[in-house]
C-alpha cells in the first residue's frame, strides 16, 4: 500500500510518500503565492524521487492552511491531527507536541495511542513564528539558518520586550544602532520566543516526552531556550518540517485499507 501526505503551509509545502508504513520519499518547497501550484509541484517531486506515478498511490490526505486547494487529495484533515500522528510515529513516547510553523504556533497534548487529547493554537499573530524569524533575520543581515549558531556566540542576552513582528524589528534596529552585539540580540530573540511558546504550553499542561515540529525547530537556539524554559529536553525529528505531511500520509493509510 502506498499513501501520500501533503502539507500546504503559509511559507513552505511538504509531501511525504509512504509504503507499508515506511517513508519512500519526501519533498519540501516554498509555497509562494499559488498554494495549489505548490501542492502539485511538491507532490510531483516526491513522486519522481520515489520513481512512482500518481496512479501508484492509493490515497492522499492534505493538511495545512491550503489543504482545501489540493485537487488530487482523497481527504482533508486539520494539521492538529496530522502533527500529532506524525510526531507519535517518530517518537512513540511523545505526549506533548509543539509545532511552530510559518505563521502560527500550536501545542498539542496526545495520549498513548497518538490521539489528540487537548490543544491550543495561536493563529492571531505571527510573533515567534517562521515569518517573525525571517523578518528579524533580515534586519540582522543573517539568514534564518544562521540564527542558531549566531546566538551560541553570545555571552550576555539582550532584552527584547516586544514580540509583535513590526515592533520587534524596530527594537532590533534600535539595539544595533546602540552597538549591542548581534549574538546578544539573537539570544534575546530566542529567549523571547521560548517564553511566548512556554505560555502556550502551560495552557494545556506539559507532559514529557516533548517533541517540537515545524521549520522553527531547525533553529537550535530556539530549541535550547525552550528546553531550558520548560525544564525538559525538547526532542526534534531529523526533518521537523515534514511531520505534518507524514501524519497526513499515515492517516491516508486508513482510507486505503
Query: Who has greater pLDDT, 145 or 33?
Result: 33
Is 31 found in the same domain as 99? no
C-alpha–C-alpha distance, residues 137 and 129, integer Å: 12
Instruction: Kindly state the cell numbers that stand for 78.
Output: 486539520
Are 230 and 245 in the same domain? no
- Residues whose CB falls within 8 Å of the CB of residue 137, separated by 6 or more in sequence, listed in order: 143, 144, 146, 147
- In order, the DSSP letters of 217-248 are GG-HHHHHHHHHHHTSPEE--SSGGGHHHHHH
Domain containing residue 157: 93-236
> What is the CATH number for 187?
3.30.420.40
Average pLDDT over residues 93-110: 94
Residue 152 has pLDDT above 80, yes or no: yes
Residue 76 is predicted with a pLDDT of: 97
Q: Percent of the chain beyond pLDDT 70?
A: 99
Do 257 and 178 sit in the same domain of this protein?
no
d(CA 74, CA 58): 9
Residue 98 shares a structural domain with residue 205 = yes
Do residues 257 and 164 both lie within one domain? Answer: no
pLDDT per residue as tens digits for the range 1-24: 999 999 999 899 999 999 988 999
Task: Verify that 59 and 102 share a domain, yes or no.
Answer: no
Residues in the chain: 257
Same domain, 129 and 227: yes
Query: What's the alpha-carbon Rg for the chain, to the nearest Å?
Result: 18
Domains in the chain, number: 2
Cα–Cα distance for residue pair 62/39, rounded to 1 Å = 9
pLDDT tens for residues 60-82?
Answer: 999 999 999 999 999 999 999 99
Selected residue with higher pLDDT from 164 and 212: 212
pTM: 0.93
The answer to whether residues 19 and 76 belong to one domain is yes
* 148 and 201 share one domain: yes
102 in the same domain as 214: yes
Q: Are residues 178 and 141 in the same domain?
A: yes
- CB–CB of 215/13 below 8 Å? no
Determine phi and psi for 106, rounding to 5 degrees. -140, 145
Amino acid at each position: 500500500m502506498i499513501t501520500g501526505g501533503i502539507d500546504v503551509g503559509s511559507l513552505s509545502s511538504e509531501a511525504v510518500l509512504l509504503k507499508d508504513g515506511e517513508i519512500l520519499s519526501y519533498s519540501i518547497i516554498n509555497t509562494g503565492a499559488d498554494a495549489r501550484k505548490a501542492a502539485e509541484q511538491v507532490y510531483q517531486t516526491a513522486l519522481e524521487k520515489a520513481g512512482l506515478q500518481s496512479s501508484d498511490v492509493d490515497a492522499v490526505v492534505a493538511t495545512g492552511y491550503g489543504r482545501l486547494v489540493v485537487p488530487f487529495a482523497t481527504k482533508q484533515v486539520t494539521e492538529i491531527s496530522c502533527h500529532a500522528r506524525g510526531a507519535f510515529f517518530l517518537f512513540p513516547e511523545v505526549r506533548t507536541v509543539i509545532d511552530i510553523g510559518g505563521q502560527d504556533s500550536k501545542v498539542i497534548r496526545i495520549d498513548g495511542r497518538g490521539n489528540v487529547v487537548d490543544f491550543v493554537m495561536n493563529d492571531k499573530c505571527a510573533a515567534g513564528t517562521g515569518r517573525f524569524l525571517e523578518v528579524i533575520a533580515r534586519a540582522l543581515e543573517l539568514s534564518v539558518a544562521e540564527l542558531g549558531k549566531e546566538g551560541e556566540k553570545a555571552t550576555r542576552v539582550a532584552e527584547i520586550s516586544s514580540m509583535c513582528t513590526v515592533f520587534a524589528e524596530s527594537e532590533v534596529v534600535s539595539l544595533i544602532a546602540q552597538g549591542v552585539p548581534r549574538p546578544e540580540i539573537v539570544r534575546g530573540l530566542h529567549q523571547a520566543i521560548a517564553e511566548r511558546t512556554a505560555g502556550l504550553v502551560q495552557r494545556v499542561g506539559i507532559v514529557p516526552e516533548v517533541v517540537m515540529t515545524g521549520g522553527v525547530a531547525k533553529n537550535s537556539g530556539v530549541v535550547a531556550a525552550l528546553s531550558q524554559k520548560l525544564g525538559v529536553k525538547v526532542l526534534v525529528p531529523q526533518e521537523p518540517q515534514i511531520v505534518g505531511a507524514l501524519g497526513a500520509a499515515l492517516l491516508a493509510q486508513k482510507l486505503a485499507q
